[in-house]
Structure 1
Amino acid sequence: MKGLGCLMGSSLGYPGRMIRPVTFYLVVFFMVSSMGYPSRRSAMDLDATPRMTIAYNDLSSVRCFGSHAQNYTTLLLEDEKGILYVGARGAIFSLNATNIADGFHQTMDWKASPEKRAECLKKGKNNKTECYNHVRLLQRLNATHLYACGTYAFHPLCTYIDTNKLMPPSVFEEGKEKCPYDPSRGYTGLIVDGSLYTATRYEFRSQPDIRRSLYQRILKTEESPLHWLNDAEFVASVLVRESMSSLVGDDDKIYYFFTERAGEESTSIFDKNQLPRVARVARVCKNDLGGKKILQRKWTSFMKARLACYIPYYEVLKDVYSLDGGNWHSTVFYATFTLSAQWRSMEVSAICRYNISEVQAAFEGTYMEYQDSSRKWSQYNGEIPEPRPGSCITDRARKSGYNSSQDLPNSVLDFIKLHPLMYEEVKPADGDPLLVKKNIIYTQIAIDRVRALDGQEYDVLFLGTGNGWIHKAVIVGSTVHIIEELQVFRVAQPVENLIISKQQKSLYVGSQSGVLQLPLATCERYISCFDCILARDPYCGWDGVSCRELAGILDRTLLSQDVLHGNMGCWNDSTQATSTQKNRTVLRGDDVLLPCEQASNLAQATWLVNGTEVLAEDGQGRFHLGVDGLLVTDTQLEFSGEYQCYAKENGLQALVATYALTVLPEQLVPQFLPTVPQPSWHAASYAYGDMKFIYIAVITVLGGLCLVLSVVLLYVSCLQKRRGKYSLGVPQTSSVELQTVSSNCIGKGGQEDEDLDTYPDGCLQIIPGEATTVTSPLKEVPPVPPPPPPPLPAEFTNGISTLPNMLRKMNGNSYMLLRQNEEPCTSPLYNSFTEELSKILEKRKHTQLVEKLDESSV
């Protein structure tokens, strides 16, 4: 089906890097040196390599849902009921959260009418992407109904949906105040205690806005004289119940996360009309009623602050996820960032963590003020009216007679209008990003808090990328360990949404082509104790036989796990996966490749030859260590023995592969090759056992042939000069006939076959006398191909046949081997010469590693 795009195509690669101009580096240097880079750790320390890479074809326990719709990007999980609601383009689905691919789902079609689509086209919109009904909001309203809003071909509509029937209602309401026109516009929405809190650019050419609608008084952000929001793109909104157990009688707050143009950056290296985009966090109070005369139907509690992540200074917010440990005081926000448009020549993502206390501190700090004279924002050092502008109504305000925002004095409301921006920025916890990844764009983030065997709770991050991968990582202290990276789509496409189900132990992935359901843990992937421990996966533990998920085990006393260090718990070597010994037999002087595939990207291969470790350079350059194998060139008899490959990682060592290598002397070659009758003089030479005689005989014969050819050519040249011209194709009365025989001399047919007994050399016949013109028998009798030689024994291989698959991982180098193309000849002289020549060429065919990947030099 069309919706099953998550099962089509193939794309394993990551986006390529663009060439960085020199000016870019100068700009980065200027920014970092002038503004400072507060991170205490280097970018190398902040980066992390995924331990394992799982390609799409290697995924297990993955379920996929797709239908006639597209853009499955709005997800609502009701974990207790086991239902996953999906808002797509033109439809809403109700899926079984246990197995979204079981086929038992409900569908509500909600497509834009032909009339609205025609109006959308008249507005100049795209009929392939924009002139549809994209469901952007899907929230639980009450026990029986959902509330949904869609763009409806640039004419937003909202509706109430009965969850028992999931049928399209007969009545819709205008959604211009609740939903964006443009389906690509940043948007976030929450229903809190019956009121709808949304943030986006609503109407067609309107300013971005944070609004409250439905059952409470409608509120908006202020537009004049200063815009509270400057070309904002909203990412997420989070409710924090700060009224619970509050000692000051505080109110609940809704926090908004977005990216906007930095109005405070009025003088910089950037064009004033192209102000850099920065990340922000804003907040409003849930029970805000607006002002009575000033700021009527406007927020009186709106404040915003800079959200800093330091990569290097200007960041674009992509997604935010919040966690709390059952108490709002422990609330933390995880945010994903990328570089803004000024750094478009570079792809960098970062993950930062923020404590709620740091956010509160920023909003309780100093304000900023816009100076008309200098046309810039600066720190406000004047007097601050009471009660504090932008704060919620607390017990202290009530004691002073301010029971709601409409009771606030005009001085407070005027101050709020002109001072929406805070001076202090919200810094990440520990002052540093948790993770900085190059050449990756993180689009979505979801967090699960897991209690490990050591009793500590670890936050497990699921990060969606812009090309269809999921990075699973665990936070250990102030660092991130990426457990694995998963290619979840054949066709590269952005991960649009991530939802975690604790009940189903599943991760739901929303995308353009469909919805995926992945298990949170795949412990069975780790086949040994070392593998299980090194993974540092809080979901998994080793029980002595296999790696198992902790959630299904009641008695955990016999389990081993080490999330903190990743190298403790495996004391018995027998728990490792045993490696089967493989036999390799090669000829002396040949090359052999011994593969050693490393399952972990963090492991380093170590080779032992007869108990002695192989160094990177053995002095003669005959051992070449690669990521996936050991290349031995110009093998000698003393190279025979046992070769063992170990994987070293984080202080642990595990056996991966074992080979028994046998190097044979060259004299053993004939027993594997077809026997050819040898002439008496050739047999006698072997009987004497003097190989030097063969070489001398071959050289003598070749020298004699060359001498005869030279004399004949000289004679023909003199004869032609005496006649004054060359005669081509005319028989001469006094000439020499040269019959050259190709490399395949067997089965020529005709006269040549008959003369083989007469001329035992067979391959080259020199016949004095007159040559007669005859028709070549080759045109009449087709040549008979010689019988192929019998194949070599199966173990008689040097592994070179596997080379093409290994080249790209052999220390970043690749190579090509030259082979002599030999074909048998009936002449013993030719046979011996070819044999010896092949041996010489065989010794010179050895590989040279080149510097560039996937390139070969001959």
Structure 2
Amino acid sequence: MRLRTRSPAESARARPMAPLLLLLSCSCAVAAVVGFPFRTPPDLDVTPRVTVLSSGLQGCRRFRSSAVNYSTLLLEADSERLYVGARGAVFALSASDISASSALTIEWEASTEQKRECVLKGKDDKTECFNHIRLLQRFNSTHLYMCGTHAFKPLCAYIDEKKFVMSSQPEEGRDRCPYGPTTGYTALIIDQQIYTASQYEFWRFPDIRRNSPSPSLRTEDAPTRWLNEADFVGSALVRESLGSSAGDDDKIYFFFTEKSQEQSTTYSHSRVARVGRICKGDRGGLLTLQKRWTSFLKSRLTCSLPEYDFHFNMLRSVFVMHGLTPKDTLFYGIFGLEWKNVKASAVCRFSLPEVQTAFQGPYMENQDSSWREYVGKIPNPRPGTCITDALKAKGINISTSLPDDVLDFVRRHPLMSNEIQPVDRRPLLFMRTTDYTQMAVRTVQGLDEQTYHVLYMGTDEGWLHKAVNIKGQLHIIEEVQLFEEPQPVLSLLLSTKQMSVYASSESGVIQLPLSNCRRYASCYECIFARDPDCAWDGAECVDVMTQANRSTLIQDIHQGRTGCEKTQYNVVQRSRSVRVGNDVLLQCELSSNLATPLWMLNGTEVQGYDLNSGFRTGTDGLLIIKAQQDQSGLYACHAIENNIKVAVVTYNVTIELDPTLPPAEPTHSPVVTLPALSTHSSSENSSSKDPHSPLPLLSPKNMEVVYLSLITILGALCVVLGVVLAYLGFCLRVGQRGKYSLRAAAAAHPSSKKNRKHHRNSSSTELKTISSHCNGNGFYNGVSKRQNADAPDEGLLYIVPGEGQTSLNKEPPPPAPPLPPTPQFSPPECDFPNGLSATLPSVLRRMNGNSYVLLRQSDSENTSPLCYPFADELNKILEKRKHTLLLPRPDESSV
């Protein structure tokens, strides 16, 4: 390889990058240690117990059409219909089976002229200049109401439910629907009154509106702006008038994230999560706050971990869990971090009494462009309250009768001072690498007569997490891959009548059962799941809802460990026969992500962490390194979960001498390390078994030193990588000097034009693979592919250099040394000497610090003598290649 010296100008340009690269390397090292950008709370960062891929879904039904962006769902339990709003169309599906062919369709797309005008406004003709359905709700007993963006000119229309057609011409919708498909938006239709919250127009601020019937109301902008760049995510009606001793009014709550207005020493964020409230009976003021809300108040929702300095201030989704009484109402919220490049989510729940207490507390006041707690006199009646029986007794029967001083105070003091804390005073869940987008909650009664909240949460990559709230902490029962292609879950609905969960995305809608208990094949699997929907009946895991007699069912939601002590279960039994000196992999795939493996040899625990033990253990198997005869015996793999040990698989391993192979002769071939194929067993064993090895043995206590050394090496690699990238970037800017090719190398050779012409016609480099007769992988006993045309194409890449030579004279190059003799028969299929086969396991896992790749083994007890060890194959190929000629003056492209 030719190296080019750096010019002084290049050195000067590269010199300022050195501190940046050093900082980058230090950041990489620190990130590896502490887990950039923050540490994870061990009791809140919950791992889903079971992972189910889309190919393994059971009872799954899907709906797709030519439309995209299925963003709006409406479930009608009485009519058993699921209405779906997409881009340019609305569908009516059967709630029991959305894949049925009885789907009804209303096509409602923007005209060509309207799309052209949208493009002229500077909008994207691939995504924005279409009619995205943003509102789809029931209006009355016979009609639905829908609104669409209509290529940045919103329209609304009524739908005849029985005929499923638009019953009227579309009407203006710019005060009811946002212009864009991704603008924050929420809407409710209550008693034929339409309440919406969004940014409706380009030049207006976000606000909350009631558009129908008259009078229409909205939030205030001056002198105090009530909403500051608000992004709405949800709304809910709470009928607080039911059973109210004070004759209170029903209230509508709006949830959003907005730009921060407070000055605080405990946190510093540009955006905060809020809950706003209005009274359903609000009619605005007479003179002051005319056509404005007289009951609007807002307060901050706090979802944080002060001990870790985590403040989740971005509200993404809200689900309202109505209780038996209004005071039992809970608000479940999904929160995220303000850092856009960091994936993290937290789940917090808030109670309605806590929200009411905040709205009864002190107000905030804007003083000198900063908000502080108001300490002055509060007028009577209390500003922002609804019309109660006590006010009616004073002659104030409607909001237009409120005094002007009360309304003026409301205008200037919309923000409350007290923050609303979660019920548990901390999040229920914290997921470090997941962004939740939607959530739905249902209640399930367990066999212990307790009521549990079961949460279904959709992610930004198309996964669904099912979790149960157990004493203020979430246990994720399973994670299910809904869509093969990563895409956000846009909407999520539950139906207890259909026992189904419905999820929509950009590509379609999916319907899944609320639970799938038959997935658990044994009593322990059923109990470990801690799923309130599932229980063990003595023979199988069944759905509790389908069982009339529940007296014999077994369930343990709180601990997930008791009830299966007397049950019988099957253990997989296998045999393995291998030769002395070979590596043996015994697989043990655990179905639970929370289980840890425990290996036993003849009843004694196998220690797989000591370097000289001869074993390596991981979550998918046990690796026996250079097996010896004294390692024969009965190996048993146990899964430990919730402090319960359950046997999974047993191996009867026989390790014996191979009399068919002659003693190995010493070879002088060079030793080559292949990190991509190495299991780190050969080098570690050689250092542990050789008494003259310069490397000292490492005990488990000293492994931390090794980890810190690896982190330092990674930091150095970051520096080297940065230098290489800078060098390549310079090469790409200098024109022809930065173009690398084999032809350029030949053209630069000091030979005649004739030789250069000959080189252009004949110089080439061929990439081929070295294949094996052992299930199509590994090596082919030193025989190249050209000598055996039937050899498969899988295996390792190698370069045939003989066909890319450039000679200085016309004489042919000297012949290569003869190859080893070729077998005269086609070798049969067999296992590798170490018992490995060619297929990867179904799930690859991190091997508890042992970074070797797991390959699935065959269960054959006999191996063919034609399968030679890996080192012998490599030595033969190196011996064959060491006499071949390379390019005399390779270019940088040879690197």
TM norm. shorter chain > 0.5 = yes
| RMSD, aligned α-carbons | 3.3
The answer on whether the counterparts of 2:635 and 2:650 sit within 8 Å (CA) in structure 1 is yes
Paired with 2:819 and 2:608, the residues of 1 have a C-alpha distance of 55
The answer on whether the counterparts of 1:471 and 1:486 sit within 8 Å (CA) in structure 2 is yes
Shift of the 407–60 alpha-carbon distance from structure 1 to 2, 3 Å rule, reads same
Pairing 1:513–2:507 present: yes
Paired with 1:571 and 1:609, the residues of 2 have a C-alpha distance of 24
Matched with 2:847 is 810
Pairing 1:365–2:361 present: yes
Matched with 1:171 is 169
Matched with 2:210 is 212
Paired with 1:182 and 1:839, the residues of 2 have a C-alpha distance of 63
Matched with 2:711 is none
Pairing 1:600–2:614 present: no
How far off is 1:529 after superposition?
0.3
Paired with 2:337 and 2:782, the residues of 1 have a C-alpha distance of 65
Paired with 1:266 and 1:649, the residues of 2 have a C-alpha distance of 45
Among residues 278, 288, 291, which one is paired with 1:294 in the alignment? Answer: 288
How far off is 1:785 after superposition?
4.1
The answer on whether the counterparts of 1:585 and 1:796 sit within 8 Å (CA) in structure 2 is no
**1:547-566 paired onto structure 2 within 5 Å:** 547-566=541-560
The answer on whether the counterparts of 1:64 and 1:100 sit within 8 Å (CA) in structure 2 is yes
How far off is 1:617 after superposition?
3.4
Paired with 1:229 and 1:263, the residues of 2 have a C-alpha distance of 10
Letter in 1 for 2:363: Y
Matched with 1:396 is 390
Matched with 1:247 is 245
Letter in 1 for 2:469: I
Matched with 2:624 is 632
**1:608-627 paired onto structure 2 within 5 Å:** 608-617=600-609, 620-627=612-619
Matched with 2:92 is 94
SS in 1 for 2:43: helix
How far off is 1:610 after superposition?
0.6
**1:632-651 paired onto structure 2 within 5 Å:** 632-651=624-643
Shift of the 385–72 alpha-carbon distance from structure 1 to 2, 3 Å rule, reads same
How far off is 1:348 after superposition?
1.2
**1:550-589 paired onto structure 2 within 5 Å:** 550-574=544-568, 576=569, 578-589=570-581
Among residues 337, 352, 356, which one is paired with 1:356 in the alignment? Answer: 352
The answer on whether the counterparts of 2:255 and 2:276 sit within 8 Å (CA) in structure 1 is yes
Pairing 1:799–2:829 present: no
How far off is 1:216 after superposition?
4.0
SS in 1 for 2:525: helix
How far off is 1:264 after superposition?
1.7
The answer on whether the counterparts of 1:583 and 1:795 sit within 8 Å (CA) in structure 2 is no
Pairing 1:468–2:469 present: no
The answer on whether the counterparts of 2:782 and 2:873 sit within 8 Å (CA) in structure 1 is no
Letter in 2 for 1:120: C
Letter in 1 for 2:253: Y
Letter in 1 for 2:362: T
Shift of the 392–792 alpha-carbon distance from structure 1 to 2, 3 Å rule, reads closer
**1:90-489 paired onto structure 2 within 5 Å:** 90-265=88-263, 276-310=270-304, 312-313=310-311, 315-340=313-338, 343-372=339-368, 375-489=369-483
Q: What is the aligned length?
A: 687
SS in 2 for 1:159: strand
The answer on whether the counterparts of 1:450 and 1:538 sit within 8 Å (CA) in structure 2 is yes
1:236-273 alpha-carbon deviations (Å, 9 max, x no partner)? 00000000000110000000000000012499997xxx
How far off is 1:670 after superposition?
7.5
Shift of the 560–20 alpha-carbon distance from structure 1 to 2, 3 Å rule, reads farther
1:704-743 alpha-carbon deviations (Å, 9 max, x no partner)? xxxxxxxxxxxxxxxxxxxxxxxxxxxxxxxxxxxxxx98
SS in 1 for 2:524: helix
Paired with 1:21 and 1:493, the residues of 2 have a C-alpha distance of 34
Paired with 1:457 and 1:80, the residues of 2 have a C-alpha distance of 25
Alignment TM-score, normalising by the size of structure 1: 0.76
How far off is 1:121 after superposition?
1.6
1:292-314 alpha-carbon deviations (Å, 9 max, x no partner)? 01000100000000011016225
Letter in 1 for 2:529: A
Give 5+ residue unaligned stretches, structure 1: 1-18, 672-741, 749-777, 818-830, 843-858
SS in 1 for 2:86: strand
SS in 1 for 2:147: strand
Shift of the 25–636 alpha-carbon distance from structure 1 to 2, 3 Å rule, reads closer
Shift of the 220–816 alpha-carbon distance from structure 1 to 2, 3 Å rule, reads closer
How far off is 1:59 after superposition?
1.3
Paired with 1:258 and 1:91, the residues of 2 have a C-alpha distance of 28
How far off is 1:345 after superposition?
3.8
Paired with 2:226 and 2:782, the residues of 1 have a C-alpha distance of 87
SS in 2 for 1:43: coil
How far off is 1:667 after superposition?
3.0
* Identity in percent: 47
How far off is 1:796 after superposition?
7.6
How far off is 1:130 after superposition?
1.0
1:31-88 alpha-carbon deviations (Å, 9 max, x no partner)? x9xxxx9xxx972211100001111111111111011211111110011211000111
Shift of the 669–557 alpha-carbon distance from structure 1 to 2, 3 Å rule, reads farther
Shift of the 172–804 alpha-carbon distance from structure 1 to 2, 3 Å rule, reads closer
The answer on whether the counterparts of 1:266 and 1:376 sit within 8 Å (CA) in structure 2 is no
1:1-55 alpha-carbon deviations (Å, 9 max, x no partner)? xxxxxxxxxxxxxxxxxx99969999xx9xx9xxxx9xxx972211100001111
SS in 2 for 1:647: strand
Paired with 2:25 and 2:290, the residues of 1 have a C-alpha distance of 51
Paired with 2:336 and 2:874, the residues of 1 have a C-alpha distance of 59
SS in 1 for 2:304: coil
How far off is 1:637 after superposition?
1.0
SS in 1 for 2:216: coil
Paired with 2:105 and 2:850, the residues of 1 have a C-alpha distance of 54
How far off is 1:793 after superposition?
7.3
The answer on whether the counterparts of 2:54 and 2:483 sit within 8 Å (CA) in structure 1 is yes
Letter in 1 for 2:466: K
Alignment TM-score, normalising by the size of structure 2: 0.73
1:736-755 alpha-carbon deviations (Å, 9 max, x no partner)? xxxxxx989xxx9xxxxxxx
Matched with 2:752 is none
1:337-372 alpha-carbon deviations (Å, 9 max, x no partner)? 1111xx234221100000111111100101000002
Matched with 2:518 is 524
Paired with 1:154 and 1:462, the residues of 2 have a C-alpha distance of 33
The answer on whether the counterparts of 1:807 and 1:814 sit within 8 Å (CA) in structure 2 is no
Shift of the 214–569 alpha-carbon distance from structure 1 to 2, 3 Å rule, reads same
The answer on whether the counterparts of 1:263 and 1:377 sit within 8 Å (CA) in structure 2 is yes
Letter in 2 for 1:621: S
Shift of the 23–666 alpha-carbon distance from structure 1 to 2, 3 Å rule, reads closer
Letter in 1 for 2:208: I
Matched with 2:46 is 48
Paired with 1:433 and 1:840, the residues of 2 have a C-alpha distance of 56
Shift of the 611–422 alpha-carbon distance from structure 1 to 2, 3 Å rule, reads same
Paired with 1:266 and 1:592, the residues of 2 have a C-alpha distance of 61
The answer on whether the counterparts of 2:443 and 2:453 sit within 8 Å (CA) in structure 1 is yes
Matched with 1:690 is none
1:636-677 alpha-carbon deviations (Å, 9 max, x no partner)? 111111100010000212111110000012435579xxxxxx
